[in-house]
Structure 1
């Protein structure tokens, strides 16, 4: 089996999450607590919280989504920039997605002593939306929908839902991380590979043309 950055990140995330479940003190020191970050200057939590998950379902869902999409992105980045720079840009996409997506969360909850957040969703969203840019017409199966949805339609629905739920704040899910992680993935990919915009639009036109 080829040892890729994707595989290393997935195994590392799973290992750290499993360890944290049996070590509450470790989890407390890595989880994102905006109130604590502001008062103790523990800015590292923006990154470390992305290697923690609430439970096995949370971990499994994120890592399946990450592994499913990231191999394509890692390959494209390697082809576009070469092995070394491709790897660095890929890591910036994923790890940067974790950090950047937590900034709105921090700003919103920095005075809330009871708020905490964890999970790799920001980084996963960044990778997923980067992949969608390169193949927007690819069909995605989203449980429990029994049929596939084109990636670009899923993307618009995902962004709309995440934004709506982030405004409601009616559950324990950090929808801001999903929304801003996705936007970060799109913006960074277009900065690095501007022709991805043309690929995206061309493939959507071809997809729509099949039904007109």
Structure 2
């Protein structure tokens, strides 16, 4: 964890530059943020551009620090191309899930790389489920953290906790999960149990949505 590869530097730099522009220019932020009405009008660029904008420096730093810690694992296993595929695919799927859940909320908007970063995190967990993640000074297996995080995201979506795009986080995790399994099919042979365990919250979300409980 924590290797700063050139592709990671490039993505962090893109996030910093675009976010700094958005901090200073609200018109720019408004034009490229995720916005349900804008996307429904055909402004599809928002589905990607919003992932490089952030509301403030704290939001930006949190996402980039998380990316820094877990990007190297994904690159080590999937290569630069695979990492970019996971990052952008998770970003897009995160926004698609947000669009699905908020399609009737014309004014709903969001920004941030959280969907993409969560996809990278979930990919890293799938690739290295035995690694330890420290949460509030408490170490725990990565797969336990991953399952717990998505269960909390479901709760956050249901209760609308905070000004947080829980659905984008969840969609990003789905993207990281699916893309990683496509690119690293050996996981089915080596860690089939983890594949199943990490799928539990994903299946639960769609069961809850299907039954009208979220």
Per the normalisation by structure 1, the TM-score is 0.84
Q: Is the 8 A contact 1:162 1:179 kept in 2?
A: yes
List 4+ stretches of structure 1 deviating above 4 A: 201-204
Q: How does 1:38-77 map to 2 (within 5 A)?
A: 38-39=40-41, 41-77=42-78
Return 5+ residue gaps in structure 1 as ranges: 79-86, 205-212
Which residue in the other structure is 1:81 paired with? none
Measured after TM superposition, the shift of residue 36 of structure 1 is 1.9
- Cα 1:116–1:203 change in 2 (3 A) is closer
Q: Is the 8 A contact 1:130 1:186 kept in 2?
A: yes
Q: Is the 8 A contact 1:137 1:203 kept in 2?
A: no
Partners of 2:115 and 2:194 in 1: CA distance:
26
Return 5+ residue gaps in structure 2 as ranges: 196-214
Q: Is the 8 A contact 1:47 1:98 kept in 2?
A: yes
Mean Cα deviation higher: 189-198 or 93-102? 189-198
Matched, 1:193 2:184: yes
Counterpart pick for 1:166 among 157, 170, 190: 157
Which protein shows a greater Rg? 1
Counterpart pick for 1:26 among 25, 28, 39: 28
Q: Between Structure 1 and Structure 2, how many residues are aligned? A: 193
Partners of 2:123 and 2:15 in 1: CA distance:
20
Cα root mean square deviation, aligned: 2.0
